[in-house]
Structure 1
Amino acid sequence: MTHDHDLVLRPTDAQRAAALAAPPGRTGGDLVVETLRGLGATTVFGLPGQHALGLFDAVGRSDLRLVTLRVENNAGFAADAYGRLTGEAVPLLLSTGPGALTALPALAEAAAASSPVLAVSSQVPTAGLGGGRRGHLHELRDQAASFRDVVKSVHSARTPSQIPSALAAAWESALTAPHGPVWVEIPEDVLRAETFIPQVTGMDATPHELAPRPELTALAAHWLEHAERPAILAGGGVIRSDAAGKLKQLAERLDAPVATTFGGKGAFPWKHPLSLQSWLEDRHTTDFLEDADVLLVVGSGLGELSSNYHTFRPRGRVVQIEADPGKLESNHTALGIHADARLALQALLETVAERRDPAAAGRVRTVLSAVAARLAAQNLDLEQGLLASIRSALPARSPSFWDMTILAYWAWSAFDPRHPNTMHSAQGAGGLGYAFPAALGACLAEPGTPVLAVSGDGGAMYSLAELATARQHDLDVTWLIVDDGGYGILREYMADAFDGRTAGTELTRPDFAALAESFGVPAVTTTPDALRADLEKALATSGPSVVVLPATLRMFAPTHL
């Protein structure tokens, strides 16, 4: 009797021929390349190092596009952005010890933002594994342990034959909801040694679908269609699962107002009559969401920023759709639905009956008017004007990347991203230096589309070396640096908390425009009045450019206290 699985396991004639005709001189590094190509990778990011040279030699002899940045952490940010925009798993090639550890903050951001980065690191030679026995350069007692608490899964290959399966398992893990970074490490001698293992063929690492339980979506649909004041809070999971269209359909079927978290920017049209936008640090929005008798939370763990610093206290029923079981009902009791946002929203659309509420749009207008009135009383025309200038200058489909800086904090609440998956920031893990290297990754993901990065002068200092990368690859990136002479948001936090005292927030910095010019990158120093025109010119000019804006900005008054 022949079973279906026998047919699956039996090699095809082409695979048999390839196995018997493997060219001589191939190494473990070639197995990595063949596996990545078989899984669908076309572009890899990273930096070479002593133990990883066998891997980089193999990449250099292949048709993979290798993008080397100047700092491992920046390479990680670039891979993260590439993954966010393409939805693909993105290889990040790292060396052992310090090189690998330098990428930890970028992998933490990828984990917080559910970005599918496939980190492939070298290791000390096999004989030295076990920690400190041989005194190898870059040796760590347990390198994988440094990453285990950050990434989604850890994999290792200790022999050439283990390489394809380890990479396939990691690839599948990275792309199974919730997406996230994964870690693979391979010893130096395994990467460099010649191997008789046949050429890798027939790779299959199809991610598992995370479908909702039907009895849960049936109950959620019943609650929503019979609610008096339903509302929806859409998080980054809607963006990651490409579910913005389904979210809009559901909101319109229910006449339910929608707010988006900072990570969910663009999940719902900004100017839609049901859009509460993203004013999650405003008490008017928090009160509105608290008043919902049924609140549908999609793709958000209701963490610190999404819950107005944990002051959000829902009074009605909460339905939470979340792919990460660790975030499901972790902050609020809810009807927890462990599922991919796209699949769960589709299940609701197939189940929920139409609900009409002519007053819903009016309630939304009332909230937005109250937010606008509060801002108008705070003399914040400069900050709002800068965001308006950026929005006017930036093409509607162009991605923007924002560092942890005052203008980005404004953008979380006030910037209209125009389309899903076009606005990204480091608010997941909150590290500095994200915007510019991430924008470089976006340029490679969407060639021909101008990309904007926004940093403060403090965050910009983390990424200056990547001006060389932007020039080397002639990437269409415009870097806006808001120069206020220090860590502006920390200065403001400290002054508020410690009776006006600050420490460690003032910075000596370079002439950013002159420094950019020294890399061969055109630069201009602008003013608030000239910002729009200068950005438009920079974005319309091919290749990299820098726009420097000397300005001291203020945050709007917090309303979570």
Structure 2
Amino acid sequence: MSRTGGDLVVESLTALGAQTVFGLPGQHALGLFDALRRSSLRYVGSRTEVNAAFAADGYARMTRSVTPLFVSTGPGALQTLAGLQEAVAASVPVFGISSQIPSAGLGGARRGFLHELPDQRASFRDIVKHTRVVRSASQIPSAIAEAWQIAACAPTGPVWLEIPQDILLADTDIPAVTELSGEPRALVPRPELIAEACRLLSEASRPVVLAGGGVVRGGAEQELLALAEKLGTPVVTTFGGRGAFAWQHPLSLQSWVEDWHTTEVLQDADILLVVGSGLGELSSNYHTFAPRGRVIQIEADLGKLESNHPALGIHSDAALALRALVSGVAQRTAPVPDLLPKIQERLDSQDLKLERDVLAAVREALPDDAPSFWDMTILSYWAWSAWDPRGGAMNSAQGSGGLGYAYPAALGAASTVDGPVLAVSGDGGAMYGISELATARQHNLRVTWLIVDDGGYGILREYMTGAFGEANGTELARPDFVALAESFGVPATLTSPERLRADLAKALSSDGPQVVVLPALLRMFAPTHLEQQ
């Protein structure tokens, strides 16, 4: 049997350790998918390219490994952009491999090829960490190893490789690829910076740690725990850092970063150690955070280092920097602010029993170690602050804030997780991924999809009503989600707030996909802000 450029692709990925590929075929990519058929790689196909990108993202978050995504030229490639934007915002190593028009059409001349773009690669340059167009079959293994390594290096993130149709289809006599290295380079902190950070932390009177998504993506949870316990310092986690620190630990101040009480604790610290966060809009309470003490920032993304606040900036992988700090700081204790009772008192005053009961029912129904994926919907906004992840990873689309993330990402996760996976969407966001019910059924993926049906884009309704007195463009006609799911062969349940815990627990215990629909009009809590003090 002859081998082609497509075989070089799958051989290279296999040699680097890939096990599963996500994507969607297209005419220019047929050589790639034909080779995939002959390989040992597992293929999980989605119904749209953006959902394939989200699925690869979910798989990569669960495995913490580079995850291939195969798509075709032009429209197929461009549809991945929203998914890749989420991946780069959340530092998820998705490896996009796209076909291209035949080599004769590259270079900008319009030859009239199907799916032709003057410069397809240009659409990805400002999104991903790295792009390259392969010009010959001999370049394929090295180009794949190069991109894999870049995706895996801290800060991890998506990369993009394009291979012309003729190169994928052409026979090759290049020997089969059996060994490649894509090991990431270690991003080690500079010792003089670590020494200064150790001195500042050891001498601080009111130190606080703010842990971001870089702790989770870098697998630095144990190092963070060791440092917090050695310093006796409280830890706040950002929305993206959920799971970086145990929710119920005595030093945990949880994740109420949109609450001014938390903002005040962070800015009152004489030394604030920020790990794996750029202190962006959400993590800084919409840029109301104004530190009065010294900030130490550990960040693998050089572009985010001191991008919002002056700091002792340490460009490093989170785990390596925290490990060095643990070795260098003095054993001590620090005061833990009485923060959480103030937040609970504020919530108690807002008549939010329905919202709190619904979130509690979801938490009680989901096994402690099961991962969850959340779309941009009101219940997710609650979960960002109030969800105890326990042993299961909480993942959401708040990196870039796009709709439609939860369900396809959960399907990607279920491709590697041995147990149930939860996806949570509103009715508006659910319509982005409804076609993926076919994917769930085809692969019998164990994802339970909770759809909170409030008749529209609920969070936008709240924002517009609050800003302008009434909303526009937020109300939606929608299908009978139960009947629609059942038409795909996916069992579905119409529930209520009172039955939610039991219905959701039953669905999660099943062996395949399930849908649970909750008609409910939820409200957001009102956060405190500086002007209210």
Secondary structure of 1:238 counterpart: helix
CA deviations on 1:92-118 (whole Å, 9 max, x unpaired) are: 001000000001000000000000000
Task: Report the Cα distance in structure 1 between the residues aligned to 2:243 and 2:458, rounded to whole angstroms.
Answer: 27
Question: 1:533 maps to what in 2?
Answer: 502
Shift of 1:503: 1.1
Assess if the C-alpha contact under 8 Å between 1:131 and 1:139 holds in 2: no
Task: Report the Cα distance in structure 2 between the residues aligned to 1:489 and 1:481, rounded to whole angstroms.
Answer: 15
Assess if the C-alpha contact under 8 Å between 1:54 and 1:192 holds in 2: yes
Task: Report the Cα distance in structure 2 between the residues aligned to 1:258 and 1:403, rounded to whole angstroms.
Answer: 26
CA deviations on 1:329-363 (whole Å, 9 max, x unpaired) are: 00000000000000000000111111123xx24x2
Question: 2:344 maps to what in 1?
Answer: 372
Question: 2:130 maps to what in 1?
Answer: 153
Shift of 1:131: 2.6
Aligned counterpart for 2:432 among listed residues 462, 476, 481: 462
Matched letter for residue 88 of structure 2: A
Assess if the C-alpha contact under 8 Å between 2:257 and 2:263 holds in 1: yes
Secondary structure of 2:303 counterpart: coil
Task: Report the Cα distance in structure 1 between the residues aligned to 2:245 and 2:65, rounded to whole angstroms.
Answer: 23
Aligned counterpart for 1:545 among listed residues 511, 514, 523: 514
Question: 2:413 maps to what in 1?
Answer: 442
1:432 aligns with 2:409: no
1:414 aligns with 2:386: yes
Shift of 1:65: 0.3
Secondary structure of 2:415 counterpart: helix
Assess if the C-alpha contact under 8 Å between 1:403 and 1:426 holds in 2: yes
1:256 aligns with 2:226: no
CA deviations on 1:144-176 (whole Å, 9 max, x unpaired) are: 000000001112211000000110000000000
Question: 1:505 maps to what in 2?
Answer: 474
Secondary structure of 1:441 counterpart: helix
Question: 2:492 maps to what in 1?
Answer: 523
Secondary structure of 2:187 counterpart: coil
Question: 1:514 maps to what in 2?
Answer: 483
Matched letter for residue 467 of structure 1: L
Matched letter for residue 311 of structure 1: T
Assess if the C-alpha contact under 8 Å between 2:7 and 2:32 holds in 1: yes
Matched letter for residue 282 of structure 1: D
Contiguous gaps of at least 5 residues in structure 1:
1-23
Assess if the C-alpha contact under 8 Å between 1:234 and 1:297 holds in 2: yes
Matched letter for residue 151 of structure 1: V
Assess if the C-alpha contact under 8 Å between 2:110 and 2:118 holds in 1: no
Q: How does 1:182-331 map to 2 (within 5 A)?
A: 182-331=159-308
Question: 1:352 maps to what in 2?
Answer: 329
Assess if the C-alpha contact under 8 Å between 1:234 and 1:260 holds in 2: yes
Q: How does 1:20-31 map to 2 (within 5 A)?
A: 25-31=2-8
Assess if the C-alpha contact under 8 Å between 2:274 and 2:295 holds in 1: yes
1:392 aligns with 2:361: no
Shift of 1:202: 2.2
Task: Report the Cα distance in structure 1 between the residues aligned to 2:273 and 2:110, rounded to whole angstroms.
Answer: 54
Q: How does 1:56-95 map to 2 (within 5 A)?
A: 56-95=33-72
Secondary structure of 1:554 counterpart: coil
Identity between Structure 1 and Structure 2 (%): 67
Task: Report the Cα distance in structure 2 between the residues aligned to 1:273 and 1:62, rounded to whole angstroms.
Answer: 50
Shift of 1:201: 2.5
Assess if the C-alpha contact under 8 Å between 2:373 and 2:424 holds in 1: yes
Larger radius of gyration: 1
Shift of 1:197: 1.1
Task: Report the Cα distance in structure 2 between the residues aligned to 1:356 and 1:306, rounded to whole angstroms.
Answer: 26
Shift of 1:200: 1.1
Task: Report the Cα distance in structure 1 between the residues aligned to 2:321 and 2:38, rounded to whole angstroms.
Answer: 44
Question: 2:353 maps to what in 1?
Answer: 381
Q: How does 1:65-144 map to 2 (within 5 A)?
A: 65-144=42-121
Moved >4 Å (runs of 4+) = none
Quick check: 130-139 or 545-554, which moved more? 130-139
Matched letter for residue 475 of structure 1: L
Secondary structure of 1:353 counterpart: coil
Secondary structure of 1:337 counterpart: strand
Secondary structure of 1:183 counterpart: strand
Shift of 1:133: 2.4
Task: Report the Cα distance in structure 2 between the residues aligned to 1:435 and 1:205, rounded to whole angstroms.
Answer: 29
Assess if the C-alpha contact under 8 Å between 1:132 and 1:139 holds in 2: no
Matched letter for residue 471 of structure 2: T
How does the TM-score come out when normalised to structure 1? 0.94
Shift of 1:445: 1.6
Secondary structure of 2:184 counterpart: coil
Matched letter for residue 62 of structure 1: S
Question: 1:453 maps to what in 2?
Answer: 423
How does the TM-score come out when normalised to structure 2? 0.99
Assess if the C-alpha contact under 8 Å between 1:132 and 1:140 holds in 2: no
Task: Report the Cα distance in structure 1 between the residues aligned to 2:149 and 2:314, rounded to whole angstroms.
Answer: 22
CA deviations on 1:460-493 (whole Å, 9 max, x unpaired) are: 0000000000000001100000000000000100
Secondary structure of 1:45 counterpart: strand
CA RMSD of aligned residues (A): 0.8
Assess if the C-alpha contact under 8 Å between 1:83 and 1:115 holds in 2: yes
Secondary structure of 2:250 counterpart: coil
Task: Report the Cα distance in structure 2 between the residues aligned to 1:205 and 1:431, rounded to whole angstroms.
Answer: 30
Task: Report the Cα distance in structure 1 between the residues aligned to 2:222 and 2:521, rounded to whole angstroms.
Answer: 39
Shift of 1:411: 0.2
Secondary structure of 1:533 counterpart: helix
1:54 aligns with 2:31: yes
Matched letter for residue 412 of structure 1: W
Aligned counterpart for 2:462 among listed residues 477, 487, 492: 492
Assess if the C-alpha contact under 8 Å between 2:233 and 2:333 holds in 1: no
Task: Report the Cα distance in structure 2 between the residues aligned to 1:84 and 1:327, rounded to whole angstroms.
Answer: 21
Task: Report the Cα distance in structure 1 between the residues aligned to 2:116 and 2:125, rounded to whole angstroms.
Answer: 17
Aligned residues between the structures: 530
Secondary structure of 2:52 counterpart: helix
1:482 aligns with 2:459: no
CA deviations on 1:11-57 (whole Å, 9 max, x unpaired) are: xxxxxxxxxxxxx5110000001100101111000000010000000
1:43 aligns with 2:20: yes
Task: Report the Cα distance in structure 2 between the residues aligned to 1:483 and 1:49, rounded to whole angstroms.
Answer: 35
Shift of 1:132: 4.3
